[in-house]
């Protein structure tokens, strides 16, 4: 049954690829639905379509002159040298070292062609995924498009926009499970535990490459904010672990920053798509802005900057703001806080992204966003 489903899906993917014009909506549905795009051979054909990259007009391979007098070269070199675990186990050293050289060149090429972009630690975790799947030349084109669109906010000179995206995490959790949300607020854990998840599309924290590329299928087919929805469903999936934890920042942060490797990825992908449909970013924008305004350790720029430099979220958030709303005032704020009939809403939806209306809605949101590629909607 699995083999027949796989063969049927492969046939549907190639049918969409061979349509005139290419059926990008169908390709997005295939990338979202169970199993994603199935093979790297298919990804080489579909990922460019999802990113609107013309494979007939690829840039030439970058030359070694990029490394001369490049302000980012030393940092990129250090990060790439530390990226051994991102390559398949058992790969011969000379092959891996060759790929690492290609990885450095791709990163420097994109940065040189787009001086408005700023390198951040973790960027190489995304680039290496594309390199391993599609090869250096196509990876260069895909990463450049990705960097000027999906990843654009992470590549600003400051982390203000990254911080703002993280501020969507708690409102999503609040919509689904107020108990977990309020527990995390009481623990003052903030959102830094999810920083490396977000800015590497989970490439830095997942050890199995199959799971990484499955998530990339999903994220490339969806709205740019989908990774933060996926981060939220991971936290929600671990509800009991969170609630059983000591209600203090250090304990909750330690728990959440250690991401399990045996997650039910297809189930979580479906749930993330469902939540995006039920609680789209436009509905959460006000709460995200309120998160920005709250004085918690997680919302201070210094902590985010430190986390980005060290890629060690467990070394930050040492200071806690103790003058918080407590006792009756906090209880009152929770009781009077407007809450939607979220549980009824969730029960009524009962959808999965694998099939049905939720998939269509997620694809529609992605398609509405994707044509703006050419409009350069990001400054």
- Enter the tokens of residue 336: 């009077």
Of 213, 222, 62, the residue nearest 134 (C-alpha): 213
Distance of CA 72 to the CA centre of its chain: 23
- d(C-alpha 38, C-alpha 95), whole Å: 25
- Residue 371 pLDDT more than 60? no
Residue 355 backbone dihedrals phi, psi, to 5 degrees: -140, 160
Predicted confidence band of residue 231 (pLDDT cuts 50, 70, 90): very high
- Enter the tokens of residue 8: 């049927």
Most confident of 32-46, 313-327, 351-365: 32-46
Q: Summarize pLDDT for 100-145 with one digit per residue, the tens.
A: 999 999 999 999 999 999 999 999 999 999 999 999 999 999 999 9
The answer to whether 9 touches 38, Cβ cutoff 8 Å, is yes
In angstroms, the Cα distances linking 194 to 44, 89, 213, 291, 307 are 29, 26, 19, 15, 11
Residue 352 backbone dihedrals phi, psi, to 5 degrees: -130, 155
Q: Identify the CATH assignment for 159-309 out of 3.40.50.10900, 1.10.287.110, 1.10.1370.40, 1.10.472.80.
A: 1.10.472.80
* Cβ neighbours, 10 Å, residue 161: 14
CATH of domain 1-152: 1.10.8.1310
- Residue 207 pLDDT more than 70? yes
Task: Indicate if the alpha-carbon torsion angle 363, 365, 366, 367 is positive or negative.
Answer: positive
Domain boundaries, the chain: 1-152, 159-309, 312-355
Give the model's pLDDT for residue 1: 78
- Residue 174 pLDDT more than 80? yes
Residue 194 backbone dihedrals phi, psi, to 5 degrees: -95, 0
């Amino acid at each position: 049954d699995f083999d027949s489903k796989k063969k049927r899906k492969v046939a549907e993917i190639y049918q969409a690829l061979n349509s005139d014009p290419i059926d990008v909506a169908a390709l997005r549905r295939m990338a979202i639905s169970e199993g994603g795009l199935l093979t790297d051979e298919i990804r080489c054909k579909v990922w460019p379509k999802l990113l609107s990259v013309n494979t007939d007009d690829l840039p030439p391979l970058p030359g070694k002159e990029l490394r001369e007098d490049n302000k980012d070269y030393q940092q990129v070199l250090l990060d790439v040298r530390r990226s051994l675990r991102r390559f398949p186990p058992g790969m011969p050293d000379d092959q891996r070292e060759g790929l690492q050289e290609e990885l450095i060149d791709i990163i420097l090429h994109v940065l040189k062609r787009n001086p408005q972009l700023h390198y951040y630690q973790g960027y190489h975790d995304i680039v290496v995924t594309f390199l391993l799947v599609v090869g250096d030349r196509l990876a260069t084109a895909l990463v450049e498009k990705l960097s000027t669109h999906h990843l654009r906010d992470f590549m600003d000179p400051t982390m203000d926009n990254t911080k703002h995206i993280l501020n969507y995490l708690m409102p999503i959790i609040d919509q689904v499970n107020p108990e977990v949300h309020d527990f995390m607020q009481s623990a003052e854990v903030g959102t830094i535990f999810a920083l490396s998840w977000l800015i590497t599309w989970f490439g830095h924290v997942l050890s199995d490459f199959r799971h990484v590329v499955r998530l990339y299928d999903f994220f490339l087919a969806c709205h740019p904010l989908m990774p933060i929805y996926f981060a939220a469903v991971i936290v929600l999936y671990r509800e009991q672990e969170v609630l059983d934890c000591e209600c203090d920042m250090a304990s909750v942060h330690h728990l959440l920053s250690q991401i399990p490797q045996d997650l039910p990825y297809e189930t979580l992908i479906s749930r993330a798509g469902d939540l995006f449909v039920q609680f789209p970013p436009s509905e959460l924008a006000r709460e995200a802005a309120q998160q920005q305004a709250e004085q918690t350790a997680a919302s201070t720029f210094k902590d985010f900057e430190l986390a980005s430099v060290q890629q060690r979220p467990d070394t930050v958030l040492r200071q806690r703001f103790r003058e918080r709303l407590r006792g009756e005032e906090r209880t009152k704020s929770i009781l009077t806080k407007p809450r939607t009939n979220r549980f009824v809403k969730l029960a009524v939806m009962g959808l999965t992204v694998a099939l049905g209306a939720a998939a269509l809605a997620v694809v529609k949101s992605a398609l509405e966003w994707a044509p703006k590629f050419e409009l350069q909607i990001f400054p």
